[in-house]
Amino acid sequence: MARGSRTKVKAAGAELLGRIQRVMDKADWVGLLELVEMLREAPRVFVTGAGRSGLVARSFGMRLMHAGLTAYVPGETITPATGQGDLLVAVSTTGRTGYTGYLVGRAKQLGATVVVLTAEPDSPLAKTADKVVVIPATDEDIVIRAAVFEHAASLCLDAVFNVLAEDLKLDLESFRQRHANLE
């Protein structure tokens, strides 16, 4: 590999990290703290998103399970029915994803509370949600914008998990007991 190529990749990584930091500085931290409380109160949590946002949501669901919460991913064969008192956390850069929009609407019909993490506070998903947490990725290039949003959303949700774990007084042994061992 040519030395110039390594320098380009490193510079691209540094630029991306800078963009993520700028978005993190403007993220809705109050809303994320409110999400911590909502998670503590919900009997069950469902997490969703499409594409890479869906991967962020699934990762967050795994963290919730590690914290001892009852968490599911809609569409999986072991996901039960949702209803009154449950919480759906939806992740969508644009707030216009059809699949995610359908699940948000359906969860609302069934009496669940919906939290949407998005870069678009005026989007259809945001308008349907009970709570909107804005992660303001605004780049003109949709690929860069989505990448920055997804990385920032992942970091924000890991911060939510860290606060939740501290509030629940979870220790390392608790995490180890819930961590996958069929690997």
Region of poorest pLDDT, from 5-14, 17-26, 52-61, 117-126: 5-14
Region of poorest pLDDT, from 32-36, 48-52, 63-67, 130-134: 63-67
pLDDT of residue 8: 93
Residue 155 has pLDDT above 80, yes or no: yes
Taking the C-alpha atoms of residue 104 and residue 89, their distance in angstroms, rounded to an integer, is 9
Contact 95, 123 (CB under 8 A): yes
Contact 60, 84 (CB under 8 A): no
Contact 88, 114 (CB under 8 A): yes
pLDDT of residue 128: 97
Taking the alpha carbons of 46, 50, 53, 56 in that order, is the dihedral positive or negative? positive
Contact 95, 125 (CB under 8 A): yes
Region of poorest pLDDT, from 10-24, 73-87, 90-104, 157-171: 157-171
pLDDT in tens, 62-118: 999 998 999 999 999 999 999 999 999 999 999 999 999 999 999 999 999 999 999
Q: Identify the residue whose tokens are 């691209």.
A: 12
Domains of the chain: 27-168 (3.40.50.10490)
Q: Identify the residue whose tokens are 């956390």.
A: 89
pLDDT of residue 2: 61
The residue count for the chain: 183
> Which secondary structure element, helix H or strand E, spans residue 175, and what is its range?
helix 172-178
Return the number of other C-beta atoms located less than 10 Å from residue 111's C-beta. Answer: 11
pLDDT of residue 121: 97
pLDDT of residue 1: 53
Write out the catalytic residue numbers: 150
- When pLDDT is averaged across residues 155-165 and rounded to a whole number, the result is 96
- CB neighbour class for 58 (10 Å; exposed up to 12, middle 13-18, buried from 19): middle
Q: Read off the pTM.
A: 0.93
Residues 6+ apart with CB under 8 A from 40: 164, 167, 168
pLDDT band of 172, cuts 50, 70, 90 = confident
Residue 153 has pLDDT above 60, yes or no: yes
Taking the C-alpha atoms of residue 129 and residue 101, their distance in angstroms, rounded to an integer, is 10
